[in-house]
Every structure is written in C-alpha cells, then in structure tokens.
C-alpha cells in the first residue's frame, strides 16, 4: 500500500504555526509580487475564492471577511517542508518527496493496520511540526491520490462548518441534487457518509477492498483524478465519462486514442495496477528556469541587464547544486499581456562552446542574448533565464575544436556558493546584478523567516515576566 501525505493548505498552515492568532481567521497567501492567491485556508475556499484569483479582484471580500493576507515566504515554507519530510522518514524507509507539500510513503512491509498507521503519521506530523496533513492510502499512486481527496473532504467538513456553504465538498452530481431537493446541507452531508465507518475519518482515508475502491471512485468527479486536467476532463465529459469510476471502466482502446498512453496509465492505476513507479532518488533536473515578473514596468536596457544577470546567477547556483553543466543558455523578455499598449516577447538561445556551470560564462551568454532581443519603447513585465541541455559535470563533452583548458569549476564560484549558503542568497554576487532594484518584486505582507534567521526568531513571553 502507498500513503499519499498532503499538507492541508500548506502555505496558510505554515503562517498559522507561527501566528496562532490566524487559527480561526480566513487566510490567503499570495504569489510573487503579491499578484494572485495561491493558497487559501478552508474558510477562504468556503467563500468561493478560486485558486489563482488575482488579489485586486477580491479586495472587497477580503475587507468584508477580515481575511488575513500574506506574501509568500518560501524560505519559511521550504524549511517547514523539510521538517515534515524528516518526520515522515521515521515511518518508512521509502519516502518519495513529490512536491513542497506532498510525499508518497510506501507501506510495503509494514505490518500495522494501514488505517491506524496513517492516523499515527498524521498525529506525529502535527505534534512535531504543527502542520495538519491528510493521508490517502491505496494500492497505487492514483488510488492513494483519490483516497486523499476523500480524506480532505472529510477534514474540511470538520473545520470550516462556520463558513459553510460547503459546495466544494460535493461532486457535481450531488451539487445538482442539492439545489434540486433544497435539502439542508446537514442532511445532504449525512447522506454522503463514508463507505465503511472506520476507513474515513479525521483526514485519513484507506481505499483498499474492491468495494471501497468502487465507492470512492463513484463520488469523485473525473476532473479530480490525478492526471486528468481541464482539457481532457472536457473530452471525457463529452463522452459521458463524468466520474472516476466511469473512467476506470472505460474502454482502453478508446482511452489510448483519446488520451494517449498517459491516459491508459491513469486508467490502469485506477484499476489497481501500478504504472507509476516509486522514485526515491530523483534525477537532476533536465532544465533550470529562473524568472520573475517586475514590481513595476521596466523599459531601460540597463535594468533588464541587472535582472537577467541576477537570474543567470541564481540559475547557475542551482545548476552547480545539482552538479550539472549547461550546454544551452536561453534568455527571454516579455511585456504585460494583460495591459493595453504595444506587446513584445522574444527569446534568444546561445550554445556554449563547452558545457559550463560557471556564473561568468552563463551570465555573459545571457547578457549577449538579451542585447540581441532587446527593443526600446516597450514596457517589460518579465524577464528570465533558462538553462538546457544539461549534463553531469563529470561527463561534460567539449566540442571537438574548442579550447580544452577551460576549468571544470571555478574557485570563485565555489567561494560564492559557500558564502551565500552561510550568509544568505545574494550576499555575494556579480557586480552586473547592481544594487538598487526599483523593479524588484513586491512583497508587502511577508511574515518573518521564523526558522532560518536569528533576527526573526519568534519571542515567547511568559505571563507574569517582564
């Protein structure tokens, strides 16, 4: 069996751990530049604010419901994620970290009852980190994902009842029935009690026996299946496949034709056959991208150069961290497509004579590319650097006639990385990055870096003490 552990509203939960006053308040966390809402507490979801909504569109709702707003604080979230993952590793030798807030925990060889074990994991993560998690357990990754959806619904029912209109808890069939019958929500909720009382409770769901599988998939909308995106969901719905159960039982030939092999794998996984293997030791990335929107429009080449130099430097750091060298350096700029006015976007890709991980080489290539694509008279919104054709440093292939004496790694970069690891990113940087960045990202609501900055440590006041 495989358990999918998913942190609930992860970024919001991180904020709450260090500011308990947020506990019973609706909370949102914003994307870079404070642009969109990328994380919502249960209360906010219940208000119907969608993932990815631009902040300026819901200003009034935020006022009205006293929603707490935070800029994203990736230093904090990254550290909290690490703590959660370390805790999980105590429960199984095989933990696959899938994203910042999710991990597959393999329970093969673990004797305990899966439900009890999952409940213990949940309680321990909560005690060690303060982060609430949901666990879905099933024989394949896709079924574990499905079980997790069920576990989350249950959890949400328990925590957000004061905000209700729990429309999002039910699948569309039930949503429909609900408006038709006009039944009070509580009555509706009783109808959807778990298949077997013990298998779904308190943020944990186990989907194992054939009947558990069928009952779970029957109440899951087809778009909620892992691997089915909005495009394919529309195709499936047009063909009458509206639930995960109908997808599971669909004709494989037809699926192959309509959704390619990716779809076939998903269907087989729903049938209990493992197609997505465990991946405990992730391969290095095949491509590295660093880009940011600007806090305000940028028109001058010099400012773009500083931004591109910064992205090139950070991309190179990431490259060195995974011990790769890049063969191709690409740079891109674009204007704001949401705005009136002349639009322009372009990219340039340069091939390095020898694959390199050196900041100076990559930075020089990126700036060269930028000067090639820059056009005056445009208000740029975003710039970025992309590294491709990556290979392990040890195996870097020089071109036949290139000079061979190029060093594999520069002592300068090694020092730069060491200093920045210790004193923080960008402590030491190339002069091309510059100093004042009026175009820098906006983060007006950022919380302190509680766990990674001495100066930001939370202070505990004991009552009665000064």
Partner DNA sequence: TCTGGGGTCCTAGGACCC
Cross-strand bridge partners of residue 345: 334
Write down the residue that tokens 């109808």 correspond to.
Answer: 191
Please give the structure tokens belonging to residue 220. 């899951």
- Residue ranges in 102-161 that form contacts with DNA under rule CB under 7 A: 102, 145
Contact between 132 and 155 (Cβ < 8 Å): yes
SS3 160: coil
- Residue ranges in 390-419 that form contacts with DNA under rule CB under 7 A: none
Stretch that binds DNA, among 42-50, 63-71, 186-194, 223-231 (CB under 7 A): 223-231
Please report which residue ranges of 47-113 form alpha helices under DSSP H.
Answer: 59-64, 74-89
Residue from 18, 130, 227, 271 touching DNA (CB under 7 A): that is: 227
Q: Which is nearer to DNA, 35 or 434 (CB)?
A: 35
Q: Furthest-apart CA pair in the chain: how many Å?
A: 78
DSSP 431-464: GGG-S--TTPPP-TTPPP-TTT-GGG---PPPTT
Residue 343 C-beta: closest distance to DNA, Å:
14
Contact between 103 and 95 (Cβ < 8 Å): yes
Distance CA 144, CA 89 (A): 18
Please give the structure tokens belonging to residue 131. 């982060």
Q: Which is nearer to DNA, 176 or 287 (CB)?
A: 287
Task: Sketch the per residue contact string, 241 through 260, with DNA: x for CB under 7 A, - otherwise.
Answer: -------------------x
Please give the structure tokens belonging to residue 39. 């994380």
Distance CA 213, CA 267 (A): 13
For residue 438, state whether it binds DNA (rule: CB under 7 A).
Answer: no
Residue 426 C-beta: closest distance to DNA, Å:
14
Q: Which is nearer to DNA, 305 or 317 (CB)?
A: 317
Q: How many residues are present in the chain? A: 466
Task: Sketch the per residue contact string, 314 through 343, with DNA: x for CB under 7 A, - otherwise.
Answer: ----x-----------------x-xx----
Which are the contacts of 41, defined by CB distance < 8 A and separation ≥ 6?
9, 12, 16, 25, 26, 27, 28
Distance CA 162, CA 23 (A): 13
Cα radius of gyration rounded to whole Å, the chain: 25
- Residue ranges in 363-382 that form contacts with DNA under rule CB under 7 A: 381-382
Residue from 182, 210, 229, 377 touching DNA (CB under 7 A): that is: 229
Residue 369 C-beta: closest distance to DNA, Å:
15
Distance CA 52, CA 44 (A): 13
Q: Which is nearer to DNA, 100 or 167 (CB)?
A: 100
Stretch that binds DNA, among 84-92, 192-200, 282-290, 430-438 (CB under 7 A): 282-290
Task: Sketch the per residue contact string, 57 through 96, with DNA: x for CB under 7 A, - otherwise.
Answer: ----------------------------------------
Distance CA 310, CA 457 (A): 28
Neighbours of 140 (CB within 10 A): 23
Q: Which is nearer to DNA, 260 or 427 (CB)?
A: 260
Burial 89-117 (b: 16+ CB within 10 A, else e): eebbeebbbbebbbbbbbbeeeeeebbeb
Stretch that binds DNA, among 116-124, 219-227, 412-420, 458-466 (CB under 7 A): 219-227
Stretch that binds DNA, among 173-181, 285-293, 407-415, 418-426 (CB under 7 A): 285-293
Residue 3 C-beta: closest distance to DNA, Å:
15
Residue 367 C-beta: closest distance to DNA, Å:
18
Q: Which is nearer to DNA, 147 or 225 (CB)?
A: 225
Q: How many residues bind DNA (CB under 7 A)?
A: 47
The site for DNA (CB under 7 A) is made up of 31-33, 35-36, 38, 52, 54-56, 98-102, 145, 225-233, 260-262, 285-293, 296-297, 318, 336, 338-339, 381-382, 384, 441
């Amino acid at each position: 069996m495989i358990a999918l552990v998913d942190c609930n509203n992860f970024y919001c939960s991180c904020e709450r751990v260090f500011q308990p006053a947020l506990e019973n308040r609706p909370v949102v966390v914003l994307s870079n530049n404070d642009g969109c809402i990328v994380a919502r507490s249960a209360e906010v979801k219940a208000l119907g604010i969608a993932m990815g909504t631009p902040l300026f569109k819901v200003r009034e709702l935020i006022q009205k419901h006293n929603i707490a707003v935070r800029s994203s604080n990736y230093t904090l979230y990254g550290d909290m994620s690490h703590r959660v993952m370390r805790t999980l590793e105590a429960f199984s030798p095989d933990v696959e970290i899938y994203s910042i807030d999710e991990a597959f925990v393999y329970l093969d060889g673990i004797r305990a009852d899966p439900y009890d074990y999952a409940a213990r994991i949940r309680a321990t993560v909560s005690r060690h980190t303060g982060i609430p998690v949901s666990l879905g357990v099933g024989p394949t990754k896709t079924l574990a994902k499905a079980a997790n959806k069920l576990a989350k619904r249950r959890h949400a029912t328990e925590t957000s009842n004061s905000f209700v209109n729990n429309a999002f808890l039910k699948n569309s069939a039930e949503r429909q029935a609900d408006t038709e019958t006009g039944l009070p929500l509580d009555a509706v909720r009783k109808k959807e009690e778990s298949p077997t009382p013990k298998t779904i409770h308190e943020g944990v769901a186990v989907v194992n026996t054939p009947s558990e599988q069928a009952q779970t998939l029957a109440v899951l909308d087809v778009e909620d299946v892992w691997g089915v995106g909005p495009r394919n969901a529309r195709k499936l719905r047009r063909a009458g496949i509206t639930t995960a159960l109908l997808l599971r039982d669909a004709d494989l030939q037809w699926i192959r034709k309509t959704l390619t092999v990716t779809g076939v794998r998903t269907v087989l996984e729903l049938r209990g056959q493992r197609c997505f293997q465990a991946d405990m030791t992730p391969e290095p990335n095949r491509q590295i991208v660093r880009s940011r929107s600007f806090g305000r429009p940028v028109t001058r080449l010099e400012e773009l150069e500083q931004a591109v130099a910064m992205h090139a430097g950070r991309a190179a750091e990431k490259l060195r961290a995974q011990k790769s060298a890049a063969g191709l350096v690409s740079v891109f700029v674009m204007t704001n497509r949401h705005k009136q006015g002349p639009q322009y976007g372009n990219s340039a890709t340069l091939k390095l004579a020898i694959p390199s991980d050196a900041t100076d080489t990559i930075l020089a290539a990126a700036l060269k590319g930028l000067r090639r694509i820059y056009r005056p008279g445009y208000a740029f919104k975003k710039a970025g650097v992309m590294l491709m054709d990556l290979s392990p440093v040890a195996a870097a292939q020089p071109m036949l006639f290139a000079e061979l004496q190029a060093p594999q790694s520069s002592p300068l970069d090694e020092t730069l990385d060491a200093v920045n690891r210790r004193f923080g990113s960008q402590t030491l940087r190339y002069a091309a990055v510059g100093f004042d960045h009026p175009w820098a990202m906006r983060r007006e609501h950022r919380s302190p870096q509680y766990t990674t900055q001495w100066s930001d440590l939370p202070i505990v006041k004991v009552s009665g003490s000064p």
